[in-house]
């Protein structure tokens, strides 16, 4: 039906007859000559309809935007002064011999090159939105990334194995999506949050190196970088240490960025312990493009008259820290108030500050509501520790360590972007030495920081029973520009260690057997040492494409209310279907049809 893609024609095809198929991007009538920009997935080519060819000109007069055409014509140079070197086809045009309208189109709700579109309109008409060059480019990039991943892993001896989509509910992480079983009354499958347990079983089965580019499902509140269903590059391998796994995966990501978008990432990636990342940046996924770090002040505030700082400094688990903003003295009172409201989102009760107007004038050169509450020697120590210069501003956080880390960590990122302090480099790193557990105040028990199958660090196994809060793990996260793009760990391969972790998590033997009995049994049959990692494909492609939302790199995404505006899913179902599934609706607002 066609000889070439529209966007692939150039001067190599001069004087050749080509057959093209595509959509009308624009139709222009210039003094009797009709020009059509014909578009396909490779780009746009200019079509010229001359009135001397009466038959084709008559057809061209009927054509409107988004009609599907088949044209036959001869490639020729564009007239002098009309060349467009910004596109591949910009030096040529095609003089039409014949036109066939393969299908007309209604007037679309938006033009394919229109910007600042409502996302609701885009998602409602996603099949049209995907015609837009930006979206075509994003999904082509996604394809390129997945092909590069497969190529690398294949060369490294990994085997692509599919794992079940209908599986057992093990609600230790996010909320599961449940699927009722028709043939097993009152029982449910769950859609997998990840293939974690199955890929570990594949290691027990001796496959040694596994990968899968797979769909995962989590019924959780959504953000720009989250979807109820998302795609994971899932990897597991046997007989490698965490350092060997990290080196293998780091090389994959370097190859991926080089092959897909021509970016050379550093080698090796820097590493930060979880403790250092929280201490310096208040985040376990710090954006190293921002040259701001915390300054610890807790020890300085033990005996100051300022009660807000003193009480926090003397309290177990309290923290006082500072964030020095270069040239922050330029900030207006309103901007400072806005930042104060911003940190309140993260639980901060206020945001104290000191403006450094002049260092030469001593205390007279400083401006702050809290100066009268702090001794001069403490203020001098603050300035010395932060390295503050004239014109800078120092923000303070004082509260529980988690509140200070969350609030000042978020403020660091916001100020970095607001003040244009973010470098243009790509800044990857590994965050390592994560704690095994974190305390859950709501449930009054320890929870796994990553997942309960993560191996404790060397020498930390005994802490599982005696002091779980001090136990570190063999976990590692890959972070890029402040985004966690991958997380993994060495797994527990001995049944007795897995049992100790369940006990630390207050999971009884009965509950462990009910939820994970198949894994515990498998670990007793010669399970090899193994570990792995999972990368968020959607996040990686979104970063590469420069978009803020992973919805822009997913063909048919959901909204932040977990709805598909295109198909109007989720939707009510017929009463007959509910009866077959042994389900009766209790919520009167969700009546079946």
- Write out the binding residues for ATP: 218-220, 227, 484, 536-539
| Binding-site annotation, residues | 172, 218-220, 227, 450, 484, 491, 536-539
First to last CA, the chain: 45
For residue 427, give the 3-state DSSP assignment. Answer: coil
Binding residues for L-aspartate: 172, 218, 450, 491
| Residue 468 burial (CB count, 10 A) | 22
126: tokens are: 């996603």
CA 325 – CA 294 distance, rounded (Å) = 10
Q: How many CB atoms lie within 10 A of CB 119?
A: 15
The residue count for the chain? 593
Q: Which residues contact 517 (CB under 8 A, 6 or more apart)?
A: none
Residue 284, Cβ neighbours under 10 Å: how many?
19
Q: In this structure, what DSSP letter does residue 299 have?
A: G
Structure tokens at 235: 């990897």
- The string of DSSP codes covering 277-296 is HHHHHSSSS--TTS---EEE
- Residue entry with tokens 């390295």: 387
Q: Distance (Å, rounded) from C-alpha 533 to C-alpha 520?
A: 21
CB 473 within 8 A of CB 456: yes
Residues 6+ apart with CB under 8 A from 332: none
For residue 260, give both structure tokens. Answer: 């897909």
Cα separation, 217 vs 213, in Å, equals: 13
Q: The tokens of 572 are what?
A: 């009510």
**Of 434, 433, 440, which Cα lies nearest the Cα of 505?**
440
Residue 406 main-chain phi, psi, to 5 deg: -65, -45
Q: Strands of 428-482 (E only): list them.
A: 428-432, 437-440, 445-448, 475-480
List, in sequence order, every residue forming a beta bridge with 273; answer none if it has no partner. 432
Residues 554, 559, 562, 565: is their CA dihedral positive or negative? negative
Q: Kindly state the tokens that stand for 486.
A: 């991958």
User: CA-CA distance, 71 to 283, in Å (whole number)?
Assistant: 57
Nearest to 354 by CA among 318, 334, 382: 382
Phi/psi of residue 184, each to 5°?
-120, 90
Q: How far is CA 68 from CA 25, 48, 63, 359, in A?
A: 10, 16, 9, 70
Question: Who contacts 175 (Cβ-Cβ below 8 Å, separation ≥6)?
Answer: 218, 219, 220
């Amino acid at each position: 039906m066609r000889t070439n893609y529209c966007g692939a024609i150039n001067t190599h095809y001069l004087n050749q007859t080509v057959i093209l198929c595509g959509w009308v991007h624009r139709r222009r009538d210039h003094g009797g000559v009709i020009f059509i920009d014909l578009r396909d997935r490779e780009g746009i080519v200019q079509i010229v309809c001359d009135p001397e060819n009466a038959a084709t000109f008559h057809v061209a007069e009927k054509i409107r935007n988004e009609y599907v055409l088949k044209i036959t014509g001869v490639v020729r140079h564009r007239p002098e002064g009309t060349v467009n070197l910004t596109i591949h086809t910009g030096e040529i045009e095609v003089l039409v011999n014949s036109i066939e309208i393969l299908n007309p189109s209604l007037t679309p709700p938006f033009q394919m090159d229109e910007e600042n579109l409502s996302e609701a309109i885009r998602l409602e008409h996603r099949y049209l939105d995907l015609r837009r060059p930006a979206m075509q480019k994003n999904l082509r990039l996604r394809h390129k990334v997945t092909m590069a991943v497969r190529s690398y892993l294949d060369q490294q001896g990994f085997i692509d194995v599919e794992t079940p989509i209908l599986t057992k509910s093990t609600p230790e992480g996010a909320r599961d999506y449940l699927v009722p079983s028709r043939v097993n009354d009152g029982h449910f499958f769950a859609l997998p949050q990840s293939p974690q347990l199955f890929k570990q079983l594949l290691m027990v089965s001796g496959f040694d190196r596994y990968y899968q580019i797979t769909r995962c499902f989590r019924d959780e509140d959504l953000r720009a970088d989250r979807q109820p269903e998302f795609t994971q590059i899932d990897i597991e391998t046997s007989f490698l240490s965490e350092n060997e796994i990290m080196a293998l995966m780091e090389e994959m990501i370097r190859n991926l960025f080089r092959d897909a978008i021509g970016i050379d990432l550093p080698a090796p990636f820097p590493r930060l312990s979880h403790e250092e990342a929280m201490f310096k940046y208040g985040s376990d996924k710090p954006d190293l493009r921002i040259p701001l770090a915390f300054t610890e002040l807790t020890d300085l505030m033990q005996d100051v008259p300022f009660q807000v700082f003193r009480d926090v400094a003397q309290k177990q688990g309290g923290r006082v820290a500072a964030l020095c903003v270069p040239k922050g003295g330029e900030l207006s009172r309103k901007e400072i108030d806005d930042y104060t409201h911003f940190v309140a989102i993260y639980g901060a009760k206020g945001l104290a500050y000191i403006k450094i107007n002049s260092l030469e004038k001593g205390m007279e050169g400083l401006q702050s509501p809290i100066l009268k509450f702090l001794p001069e020697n403490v203020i001098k120590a603050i300035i010395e520790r932060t390295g503050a210069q004239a014109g800078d501003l120092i923000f303070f956080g004082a509260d529980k360590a988690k509140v200070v880390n969350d609030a000042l960590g978020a403020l660091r990122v916001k100020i970095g972007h607001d003040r244009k302090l973010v470098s243009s480099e790509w800044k990857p790193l590994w965050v390592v030495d994560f704690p095994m557990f974190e305390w859950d105040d709501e449930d009054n028990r320890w929870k796994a920081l990553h997942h309960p199958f993560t191996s404790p660090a060397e020498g930390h196994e005994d802490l599982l029973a005696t002091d779980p809060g001090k136990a570190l793990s063999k976990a590692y996260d890959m972070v890029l520009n402040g985004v966690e793009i991958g997380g993994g760990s060495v797994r527990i391969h001995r049944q007795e260690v897995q049992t100790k972790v369940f006990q630390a998590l207050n999971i009884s033997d009965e509950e462990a057997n009910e939820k994970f009995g198949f894994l515990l049994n498998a670990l007793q049959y010669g399970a090899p040492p193994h570990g792995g990692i999972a990368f968020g494909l959607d996040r990686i492609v979104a970063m590469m494409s420069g978009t803020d939302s992973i919805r822009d790199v997913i063909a048919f995404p959901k909204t932040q209310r977990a709805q598909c505006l295109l198909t109007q899913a989720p939707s009510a179902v017929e009463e007959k279907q509910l009866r077959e599934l042994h389900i009766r609706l209790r919520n009167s607002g969700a009546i079946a049809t």
